[in-house]
Amino acid sequence: MKRSFLSRIRENKLNVFFLFFVFIMPWSIGRQSYIPSGSMRSTLLEGDVVWVNTFYYGGRTPITPLSIPFLEGYYLDWIQLPSIKIPGLGTPKIGDVFVFHSPDEYEKPLDERTFIVKRCMAKPGNNMDVIEGVTYIEGEENPYNDIEGRQSKYQIDLEGFYYSSSEKAFLESFGILDISPTKKESTYIISINSQMTKKLLSSDEVVGLKPILKESKQEPYYFDYKKNKGSRFAESQGGNLSSLTGILLPVKGMEMEVTIEMLQTYGYLLEHHEGLKNVEIDKVEGTLKIDGKEVEKYIFRQGYFWGEGDNRGNSYDSRFIGFIPENHIVGYVSYIIYSTNRNPKDSFILSRLRPFLLDFRWSRFFRRIN
């Protein structure tokens, strides 16, 4: 007797569930993701394992089916399929902690690019400025500049210690992990939040604590972008990442006149993210050719977002990598599944072994992310 399709599924339900869990759920419903760096402190810490909701924004079918599930970078590009966008319930809102594929790993298929986690600070159609490290939208301060736990860079001066190792141990006792020495003795650059500043100022060993507002040419932010250390806006804005002005985030269908300034700011989007095959850009003359034909105005094919890390003083975000294309967005972080006591000095192997060592931060289990 010939069995029906449904009866075959019932008989092999464990296999069907396994296939769904491994190959379909990550892009259609949600997936877990590991936090390797401190760019989102104190919202997310190194060692947090979070749940990424891919359903709400709408998932995308994978391009590279020959890949190892849940492991980034392990794939074969022998077969590449067209990616289909699944309709979602909404788009990223300002304040969402969202996950997206790195916009500058052009050599990789889109679905195999590195996951990046940041907070959405502006969305398509917004006019924004960054003035002395503060983000403004349509001239009004973004309310998420002062989110609880958000970290910034400070210069701290200490006294009363004989050895630099004692000074670093003192700072680490406050939970500070981003500590960079300066040329001046007993002076460091640290990343801390407002709660930490109050605790430090109450200590007799701290004789000076001031925020670093200007990131000048002497800071590593200014270096050549091709060396993966500079900013997308170094050419159009001068490289001071604390003062980015007049930035318009393109929205799908927006028409923009082609000028030198437009090409300096948005030219790389046309080359890499707009799906154009033959693009010629002359930033000296301010001309744009598509398929050999010069165009005076361009209509954008998708929207672009702006993301920043809560640990703003130590975050590789839109100030460096530029705009975040809508088709790169994976989902939003809804809660922390579990967390391990990872230290930035951990080796790759040790950081992955900590769950098996039961070295957990129990208080962070199943914590919702706002």
Question: Over the stretch 44-57, which tens digit does the pLDDT of each residue have?
Answer: 988 899 999 998 99
Closest of 22, 20, 35 to residue 351, by C-alpha: 35
Distance between CA 191 and CA 179 in Å, rounded?
Answer: 7
Instruction: Tell me: pLDDT of 270 over 60.
Output: yes
Looking at residue 225, what is its pLDDT?
36
Quick: pLDDT tens for 100-125: 999 988 888 888 788 899 999 999 99
Lowest mean pLDDT among 15-19, 29-33, 102-106: 15-19
270, 298 contact by CB (below 8 A): yes
User: Who contacts 308 (Cβ-Cβ below 8 Å, separation ≥6)?
Assistant: 118, 119, 121, 135, 315, 317, 318, 319
User: Who contacts 184 (Cβ-Cβ below 8 Å, separation ≥6)?
Assistant: 157
Closest of 57, 56, 37, 55 to residue 46, by C-alpha: 37
Phi, psi of 268 (to 5 degrees): -65, -25
Quick: pLDDT tens for 142-154: 888 777 667 778 8
Average the pLDDT over 33-54 and give the result. Answer: 87
- In whole angstroms, how far apart are CA 70 and each of 25, 34, 172? 11, 10, 33
Quick: pLDDT tens for 285-310: 999 999 999 999 999 999 999 999 98
Using alpha carbons only, give the angle 309, 314, 318 rounded to the nearest 5 degrees: 45
List 190's β-bridge partners, or say none: 154, 179
Domain architecture of the chain: domains with CATH: 1-126+308-370 (2.10.109.10), 152-211 (3.30.70.80), 255-299 (no CATH)
More confident of the two residues 56 and 160: 56
Distance between CA 91 and CA 56 in Å, rounded?
Answer: 8
CB count in 10 Å sphere of residue 62: 22
63, 344 contact by CB (below 8 A): no
Average the pLDDT over 314-340 and give the result. Answer: 90
Sign of CA dihedral 13, 62, 29, 46: positive
Looking at residue 347, what is its pLDDT?
63
Phi, psi of 278 (to 5 degrees): -125, 95
Which residue's entry shows tokens 């939970």?
A: 175
List 113's β-bridge partners, or say none: none
Query: pTM, whole model, 2 decimals?
Result: 0.78
Looking at residue 248, what is its pLDDT?
95
